[in-house]
Structure 1
Amino acid sequence: MDVTFVRLRSGSLRNRGANFSSFYIPPKVVPNPYVKRLAIVYENLGNWSSLYYKVPNYSLVAPVVGFTVYDSPSVLGTEKLNLSVKGKPISIWFDDYIALRWKNDTPKCVKFSDDGRFEINNMTSNNGCIARGQGHFSIVVPSSPHDPMTLKKKKNYWKWWLIGFGGGFVGVVLLILATTAIFKIVKRKRLRAMEKRSEQGVAFDTFWVGASKMPSVSMVRTQPTIENDYVP
């Protein structure tokens, strides 16, 4: 990542323009609001470009470069300025080898705004881009199934899908085991309660019938009584 700035007079920018790094600002460009001196801060994000800027269904094939204009009363002010382009547009160019690497696709220019929006346009005949204001710029091509970034995204997608599926399966198994354990505990408590109630009653003799143990009553517990002494 590279950050530099150029300080110059507004009159010099209007009369002669400015040529620095990846940008050429033609004459007849003035700051808005107008100031006597201004500073142009230039950024080249290099290998960090894809971490800060992304375009859905497209891949960056060039580093993101950008510039921002500030007032410059002494060295670098805090007020951000706009540029009023009254003549030719601002030119942005990239190394030719970047475009040649992707000659099988149609490269496009992309401009990123501060609010996160982006705008895609065709490149010029000399593999450059044009703009009428400050911002961040790069070159993109349509994503392909063999693009490294696309493959990485698919790999991460399947990775998280497998993790989610495995976690859900383990959760279901644990739920089933917990439900079974609770059912056994409740059933055991009910059996203990029944046994306790049976122990509180009158105990019966038992005898075996084959392999089964059966209750047995050896005597009549309640003697019959006549409700009325009168017998016809």
Structure 2
Amino acid sequence: MVFSSLLSSTLGGSEDSYDREALDALFHYYANQTLAKHHTGTLYKVPLPSNFSGMEVSIVRLRSGSLWGRGANLSLFNVPRRVKTSPYVKRLAIVYYNLGKYWSTRYYQIPDYSLVSPVIGFNVYASSNLTALSDRNVTLILTNGSISIHFPYIEAEDKINVTELKCVNFEPDGSVEFKDMTERNVCVTEKAGHFCVVTPSLGVKKERVWKWWVIGFVSAIGGLIVLVSAGVIGVILLRRMKIKAMEKESDTAEALDTIWVRGDKMPAASMVRTQPVLEHDYVP
């Protein structure tokens, strides 16, 4: 009955009916079936029904003391040392999963972005009972760094601008948190959840290019207007300076008389010549 209800709620009739919470419950159910058969401290693969071919689920049970002293390496997740649990539990179980490319795009979509990696993630549960997995989630409290997420592959990595890649954390309330990648194929987180790498879709890239073209064109026109205005103002100021200089020179210069020559008025020097003066008062 549990199996039938989980399948019916997880696989709906349309893409919009894929239920993420039901999928987590399905992973919990099959991980719980596997837990009783294995030992603490070892990562085991969880078998899933053929309906979910392409997904990979694993589980590991740890002691809180071991997680605090040595951390945990869950293949694609690296949990550092000095990690506490809230609430405190003596043992905990970490269910790790990789949805693969096919299932990732059906359960997780982001408007204006394309998934270029599979969605991977993990959940932490209390596991005090050695033969059963509790429904109670446990929160990891990090005191010595962050959890590293190593994505197995990024689609068309050689054709994608690395600066456009973003790490995404899908929150339980449906919101999405974006982060920059710390290094190639690696993201970091401080909590459990579902993660993937995205890049802006082709339409968004074209829109951004178009916006930059518009901004560049407007900036060029504005710069040209400013340059022409500065040139016109410079010419006007230069002319005014020349006129002022000419006016000043005309004020200090000697005025010329005017005469009429065949009906035209023309400037002429004064007819009075400078009177001769003796160089010495003594006359022989």
Fold conserved (TM > 0.5)? Answer: yes
Would you say the 8 A contact 1:26–1:90 is kept in 2?
A: yes
Counterpart among 103, 107, 125 of residue 183 in structure 2 = 125
Change (3 A) 1:51 1:27: same
Q: Which structure shows the bigger proportion of residues in strand conformation?
A: 1
1:4 correspondence with 2:62: no
Change (3 A) 1:70 1:145: same
Task: Quote how far apart the aligned CAs of 1:146 are.
Answer: 10
Greater shift after overlay, 15-24 or 101-110? 101-110
Q: State how 1:18-57 maps to structure 2 within 5 Å.
A: 18-46=72-100, 47-57=102-112
Would you say the 8 A contact 2:112–2:203 is kept in 1?
A: no
Would you say the 8 A contact 2:116–2:197 is kept in 1?
A: yes
- Name stretches of at least 5 consecutive residues in structure 1 with no aligned partner: 148-232
Change (3 A) 1:26 1:143: same
Q: Which structure shows the bigger proportion of residues in helix conformation?
A: 2
- Name stretches of at least 5 consecutive residues in structure 2 with no aligned partner: 1-54, 206-284
Task: Quote how far apart the aligned CAs of 1:102 are.
Answer: 4.0
Higher relative contact order (CA 8 A, sep 6+): 1
Amino acid at match of 2:157: L
Would you say the 8 A contact 1:99–1:127 is kept in 2?
A: no
Would you say the 8 A contact 2:117–2:153 is kept in 1?
A: no
2:160 corresponding residue in structure 1: 103
Q: State the secondary structure of the residue aligned to 2:84.
A: strand
Deviations 1:164-208 (A, max 9, x none): xxxxxxxxxxxxxxxxxxxxxxxxxxxxxxxxxxxxxxxxxxxxx
Give the Cα separation in 2 of the matches to 1:114 and 1:102.
32
Aligned residue pairs, count: 147
Task: Quote how far apart the aligned CAs of 1:99 are.
Answer: 6.5
2:117 corresponding residue in structure 1: 62
Give the Cα separation in 1 of the matches to 2:67 and 2:159.
35
Q: State how 1:1-232 maps to structure 2 within 5 Å.
A: 1-46=55-100, 47-73=102-128, 74=130, 75-96=132-153, 98=155, 100-104=157-161, 106-145=164-203
Amino acid at match of 2:124: V
Would you say the 8 A contact 2:97–2:122 is kept in 1?
A: yes
Give the Cα separation in 1 of the matches to 2:73 and 2:85.
16
Q: State the secondary structure of the residue aligned to 1:13.
A: helix
Q: State the secondary structure of the residue aligned to 2:202.
A: coil
Would you say the 8 A contact 2:117–2:154 is kept in 1?
A: no
TM-score by length of 1: 0.60
Give the Cα separation in 2 of the matches to 1:129 and 1:71.
26
Give the Cα separation in 2 of the matches to 1:44 and 1:12.
25
Would you say the 8 A contact 1:31–1:83 is kept in 2?
A: yes
Would you say the 8 A contact 2:154–2:185 is kept in 1?
A: no
Give the Cα separation in 2 of the matches to 1:119 and 1:52.
17
Runs of 4+ in 1 over 4 A off after TM superposition: none
Task: Quote how far apart the aligned CAs of 1:31 are.
Answer: 1.3
2:241 corresponding residue in structure 1: none
Q: State the secondary structure of the residue aligned to 2:121.
A: strand
